[in-house]
Amino acid sequence: MAQIEILTEDERWTAAALPALAEKACSAALDELSLDADYEISLLACNDARVAELNTEFRGKPMPTNVLSWPSEERAAQVPGMIPMLPDGASHELELGDIAIAFETCTREADDAGKPFEDHVTHLLVHGTLHLLGFDHTNDPDAALMEGLETRILAKLGIEDPYRV
C-alpha cells in the first residue's frame, strides 16, 4: 500500500483527480512486487517550468520532462536485468522517495499518442514508483525488465501496453 503525500504547485492537477490516480498507480506497482508495507512516496504535482528547473539541477538537462524521481536509498541491482534490492518493510525503509510530474508534458504526450490523460499519468506514476524501487532503463536488460513490469501492472489496471508500437 502506498501512502502518498502530494504537494500541488500547479492547480490544473486538482481537476485531474491526481490523488486517486497516484494511489491506484503507486499501490499497483507495490502490489505487483508483493510489497505490502505502508510505503511513503512524496509527489510534486507541478508544471514544465518547475520540472525543467529540477531536471537542470539534478540531471544537467535544461528541459522539461514528464516525470522525475529521487529514491530515498540506492536499490539498483548489481547485474543488468536483475531485480533490484527491494525494501523489506523495515521502519527505516518505509520512505521510498520523491516523484515530480509535469502537467504540460503529460498533457502533450497523451494528446500526441491519442491516449486518455489519466492512463498516461497512471503509467508515468507506475514508472516513477519503479524508479524509486531501484528499477531503471539505462541499458537493454534493465529496460526490458522495467518495461515488462510496467506493462503487466498497467494491464491489471485495464490500461493498454504503452510500449506497443
Side-by-side strand order, sheet with 2-8: 2-8, 39-46, 95-102, 67-71
Q: Is residue 130 part of a domain?
A: yes
- Take residue 30 and report the three cell numbers written for it: 507495490
Each residue's pLDDT tens digit in the chain (165 positions)?
Answer: 789 999 999 999 999 999 999 999 999 999 999 998 999 999 999 999 999 999 999 999 999 999 999 999 999 999 999 999 999 887 667 999 999 999 999 999 999 999 999 999 999 999 999 999 999 999 999 999 999 999 999 999 999 999 987
| Cβ proximity of 120 and 21 under 8 Å | no
Number of domains forming the structure of the chain = 1
Is this structure's pTM higher than 0.85? yes
Q: What is the CATH number of the domain that holds 15?
A: 3.40.390.30
Domain membership of residue 161 (yes or no) is: no
Inside any domain, residue 76: yes
> Domain limits at 61?
2-156
Question: CA dist 5 to 45, 106, 146, Å?
Answer: 10, 20, 24
How far is Cα 113 from Cα 84, in angstroms, rounded to an integer? Answer: 30
Report if residue 164 sits inside a domain: no
What pLDDT score was predicted for residue 90? 76
For residue 129, being part of any structural domain is answered with yes
pLDDT at 93: 77
- Domain contains 163: no
Nearest to 122 by CA among 136, 140, 133, 109: 109
Task: Tell me if 162 is assigned to some domain.
Answer: no
Residue 29 maps to a domain: yes
The answer on whether 92 is annotated among ligand-binding residues is no
